[in-house]
Structure 1
Amino acid sequence: MLTPGLCSITFRQLDVDGVLDVAARAGLAAVEWGADVHVPVGDLDTARSVAARTAAAGLRVASYGSYFRAGVSEGFADVLATAVALGAPRVRVWAGAQGSAGAERGPVVAALADAVRRAADAGVQIGTESHGGTLTDTTASTLALLADVDGRTGTEALTTYWQPTVDAPDDDAVAELAVLLPRTSTVHAFSWSPGTTRQPLASRESLWRRAVGLLASSGGDHDVLLEFVPGDDPGVLGREGAVLREWLNT
């Protein structure tokens, strides 16, 4: 199943109810709640309230979008407790704070392995953000990281997110997803070009239709979450959501 959803950080300017309102009106089914604005780490009352309001809006919590950087940040216990209070099945974390070319991998691997074990005890999954300046900045480094953590935990419980590498040609981006697909839990969907210029999702239809085809062919469940929209404008989410839902239903 491919589930269309929204990252709450798309609209940091809106409160929780505002995010839920625009997501529901856009026909989306799930929300990844960000830790930076809407569900702060350690605020369990807010997390429980957001969980209840999400369900009341007819949506589900896709994940908890944390900014925990493995091997760098402290306080994973608070992150996990917040995710549990939120009812999040998954916590998004970051694979350190340095790119793969010069990073010391050991502390990141150890911290991720610890997070995976502790999260598993709580019935929660861990997924790594796909991002530059971390150990998931290339496909090869992401695969090596997953293998290293697997070796520490004796499982393949760690997942990864995927999003198109900035300025990567469509063929290269789709090839990256194809390699990472067996371990991909979540996709952040947006269209940037050139660089980080935010374009309508449909402007990269050739990329996204191929990516969705790969996700569908895997036979697994994936959340496909709109993350950035032109102008950070809630008024365009209806259009963006309709495009995403059309592709996921094709």
Structure 2
Amino acid sequence: MTEKLRRGVADDTASRRPAGPDAGVTRLGLCSVTFRRLPAAEVARCAADAGLEVVEWGADVHAPPGEPGTVRAVREVSDRYELACCSYGSYFRATPGELAEFPAVAQAAVLLGAPRVRVWAGGTGSRATSPDERHTTVACLREAGRIAADHGLELAPEFHQGTLTDTVASTVQLLDEVGADNVRTYWQPPLDVPDEEALSGLAELGDRVTAVHAFSWWPGNTRLRLAEREALWAAALRLLNGRRVEALLEFVPGDDPTVLAREAATLRRAAAQRPIHQR
């Protein structure tokens, strides 16, 4: 482990608490799952070349929780390219069978220097989930949130169909049921929902949003250039004005790393009406 990395790990707890003039800025970044087929060093290089400042490292390929050596190497890659790890993209679905494995997830997030673990709120949509199943998922998220807090981490489920955060109403209910200060939520535009309706949902979630996944899909999961929904993202970032959140590019057209700089430029343009932290 490099001396820089030793210092970084020692300072992680303090650095997770936003303070000072940057406490209310939105940082622009990349989800590493966008380029699953690329090695972590290439993902980091692409993000840095595109002028992004943070990465959400995924647990599925780049930083598996059971491989601390790999996770440390990813942290070193981030440091080399002067990228912060804003979150650890886990695939913990808050089932009882997974709870025993969550401490390893939290430990991996700490090794990465991430302030947050992204999780999933169960494996079925809110309408298809029975009250008993919902209660179980809530209890698992509450326990995972407690473990996360013990590691100085925030927990945040992805705002995604097929989970208990598939609607704004269910997400608000879930967060109320979990009842933990360190459990917040992601947001992304729901599939096939008009811009006005999507933005209304983001406004309703308000301060409970900790990060957004930025992409341009329409209709369904047809991938468009971010510029084709730039008005949506400009409005979304205005709604987030003054909050410490991240806007993370995810799933660019064709999974093509050569378009990342273009997509990042569009995201910066959409954010230009509000103060953002410059690298």
Quote the offset at 1:145 in angstroms: 0.1
- SS at 1:198 equivalent: coil
Which residue of structure 1 aligns with residue 215 of structure 2? 190
Matched, 1:230 2:253: yes
**Matched residues, number:** 244
- State the percentage of identical aligned residues: 53
Which residue of structure 2 aligns with residue 215 of structure 1? 240
Matched-pair contact (CA < 8 Å) for 2:74–2:112: yes
Which residue of structure 2 aligns with residue 242 of structure 1? 265
Which whole-Å CA distance do the structure 2 matches of 1:82 and 1:205 have between them?
34
Normalised TM-score (structure 1): 0.95
Deviations 1:125-149 (A, max 9, x none): 1011111110000110000000000
Quote the offset at 1:88 in angstroms: 1.0
Which whole-Å CA distance do the structure 2 matches of 1:197 and 1:72 have between them?
35
Within 5 Å, which residues of 2 pair with 1:25-64?
25-64=49-88
Instruction: Kindly provide the amino acid, as one letter, of the partner of residue 69 in structure 2.
Output: D
Which residue of structure 2 aligns with residue 92 of structure 1? 118
Which whole-Å CA distance do the structure 2 matches of 1:73 and 1:171 have between them?
39
Match of 1:199 among 224, 230, 252: 224
Normalised TM-score (structure 2): 0.86
Instruction: Kindly provide the amino acid, as one letter, of the partner of residue 26 in structure 1.
Output: A
Match of 1:118 among 144, 147, 154: 147
Which whole-Å CA distance do the structure 2 matches of 1:184 and 1:233 have between them?
28
Instruction: Kindly provide the amino acid, as one letter, of the partner of residue 60 in structure 2.
Output: D
Matched, 1:2 2:29: no
Which whole-Å CA distance do the structure 2 matches of 1:84 and 1:40 have between them?
13
Which residue of structure 2 aligns with residue 171 of structure 1? 196
Instruction: Kindly provide the amino acid, as one letter, of the partner of residue 64 in structure 1.
Output: Y
User: Does 90-99 or 49-58 show the bigger shift?
Assistant: 49-58
Structure 2: state its 5+ residue gaps: 1-24, 274-279
Which whole-Å CA distance do the structure 2 matches of 1:245 and 1:58 have between them?
19
Which whole-Å CA distance do the structure 2 matches of 1:73 and 1:205 have between them?
41
Which whole-Å CA distance do the structure 1 matches of 2:103 and 2:88 have between them?
14
Matched-pair contact (CA < 8 Å) for 1:71–1:110: no
Matched-pair contact (CA < 8 Å) for 1:50–1:86: yes
Matched, 1:138 2:167: yes
Which whole-Å CA distance do the structure 2 matches of 1:162 and 1:130 have between them?
5
Structure 1: state its 5+ residue gaps: none
- SS at 2:55 equivalent: strand
Q: CA RMSD in A?
A: 1.0
Instruction: Kindly provide the amino acid, as one letter, of the partner of residue 55 in structure 1.
Output: D
Higher strand share: 1
User: Does 110-119 or 68-77 show the bigger shift?
Assistant: 68-77
